[in-house]
C-alpha cells in the first residue's frame, strides 16, 4: 500500500510540474521518491534487493527521459523563435526593392538552422515513442507509462503546431513572391496564367526563365532585377517546403500512434 501511494504521489507531482510541456528543472527529487517504494519490512532480503535494484533502474530511466524532455522543449522553443524571426525577414525582403545577396544568405541560414532543429526534434520524439513501455509492461510500469505518454503526447502536439505555423509562413512568402512577379509582368502587359507562371517558376535555370519573359516583353532593368530576386527566393524555398511537408507528415503519424495509446472503453 505504501509503495502504491508513493508512486501515485510521484505521478501527481510529475504531472503537476510537467503539464505545460516543461520538464522539471531538477528531476532528482521525483526520482528519489521512486527509490522509496521498497519497504524495509520485507522479509525476503533477496526480493528486497531485487525491488531496490528495479527502482534504481527505473529512476535512472526517468532521469534520462526528463533530460530528453528538456532538450526537446528547448529545441521547439528555438524553432518557434526562429519562425517569428523568419516572418519578420520575409516582410523586410518583400518591402525592399534592393534586398541583395546578404539578405538571401541570412534567410537561407535561418532556414537551414530551423530545419536542422526540426529534424532533431523529430528524431528525439521517435526515440521517446520507441522507448515508451510496451503494451505488455504497462501494468507493471503504469506510473512511468502515464508520465512518458503524457509528456510525449504534449511535446508532439506542440511540435506539430509550431511546424504547421512555420510551413504556413513559408507558403505565404512563396505566394507573395509570385504575386510580385505577376505584378511586374502586368505592368508591361505580359499576361500569364497561374499555371504558366508556375511552369516558369519551376525552372531552376534563372537565365532561361528571364529570357522567356524578356523576349516577349520590354522590361526595364529594375523590373528584371525584381523578378530575378523573387525567382531566387522561390527556388530557395522549394527544398525547404518539401522537407517541411515530410516532417509534418511524420509528426501526424506520431499523433495517430498516440490515439492508439488511449485506453479502450
pLDDT digits (tens, 9 = 90+) for 133-148: 665 555 546 777 888 8
Q: Which of 46-50, 216-220, 251-255, 257-261 has the highest mean pLDDT?
A: 251-255
Structure confidence at residue 163 as a pLDDT band (50, 70, 90): very high
Phi, psi for 235 (deg, rounded to 5): -60, -40
Closest residue by Cα to residue 24 from 75, 69, 80: 69
Alpha helices in 135-265 (DSSP H): 142-187, 194-201, 206-214, 221-261
pTM: 0.68
| CATH, domain range 2-170+247-261 | 1.20.58.70
Residue 28 has pLDDT above 50, yes or no: no
Contact 248, 164 (CB under 8 A): yes
- Whole-number Å distance between alpha carbons of 124 and 121: 5
Q: Where are the domains of the chain?
A: 2-170+247-261
Q: What is the pLDDT of residues 109-131, one digit of tens each?
A: 888 899 999 999 999 999 988 88
C-alpha cell at 173: 512568402
Contact 122, 247 (CB under 8 A): yes
Amino acid at each position: 500500500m505504501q509503495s502504491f501511494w508513493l508512486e501515485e504521489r510521484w505521478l501527481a507531482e510529475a504531472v503537476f510540474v510537467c503539464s505545460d510541456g516543461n520538464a522539471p528543472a531538477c528531476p532528482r527529487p521525483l526520482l528519489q521518491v521512486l527509490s522509496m517504494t521498497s519497504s524495509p519490512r520485507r522479509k525476503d532480503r533477496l526480493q528486497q534487493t531485487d525491488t531496490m535494484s528495479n527502482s534504481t533502474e527505473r529512476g535512472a530511466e526517468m532521469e534520462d527521459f526528463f533530460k530528453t524532455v528538456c532538450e526537446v522543449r528547448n529545441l521547439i522553443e528555438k524553432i518557434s523563435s526562429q519562425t517569428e524571426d523568419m516572418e519578420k525577414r520575409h516582410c523586410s525582403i518583400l518591402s525592399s526593392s534592393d534586398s541583395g545577396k546578404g539578405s538571401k544568405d541570412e534567410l537561407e541560414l535561418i532556414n537551414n538552422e530551423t530545419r536542422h532543429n526540426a529534424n532533431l526534434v523529430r528524431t528525439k520524439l521517435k526515440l521517446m515513442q520507441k522507448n515508451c513501455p510496451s503494451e505488455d509492461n504497462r501494468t507493471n510500469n503504469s506510473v512511468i507509462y502515464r508520465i512518458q505518454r503524457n509528456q510525449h503526447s504534449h511535446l508532439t502536439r506542440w511540435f506539430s503546431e509550431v511546424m504547421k505555423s512555420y510551413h504556413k509562413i513559408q507558403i505565404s512568402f512563396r505566394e507573395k513572391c509570385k504575386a510580385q512577379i505577376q505584378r511586374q509582368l502586368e505592368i508591361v502587359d505580359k499576361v500569364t496564367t497561374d499555371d504558366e507562371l508556375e511552369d516558369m517558376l519551376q525552372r531552376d535555370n534563372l537565365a532561361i526563365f528571364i529570357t522567356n519573359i524578356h523576349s516577349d516583353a520590354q522590361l526595364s532593368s529594375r523590373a528584371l532585377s525584381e523578378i530575378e530576386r523573387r525567382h531566387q527566393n522561390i527556388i530557395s524555398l522549394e527544398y525547404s517546403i518539401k522537407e517541411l511537408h515530410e516532417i509534418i507528415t511524420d509528426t501526424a503519424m506520431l499523433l495517430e500512434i498516440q490515439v492508439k495509446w488511449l485506453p479502450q472503453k
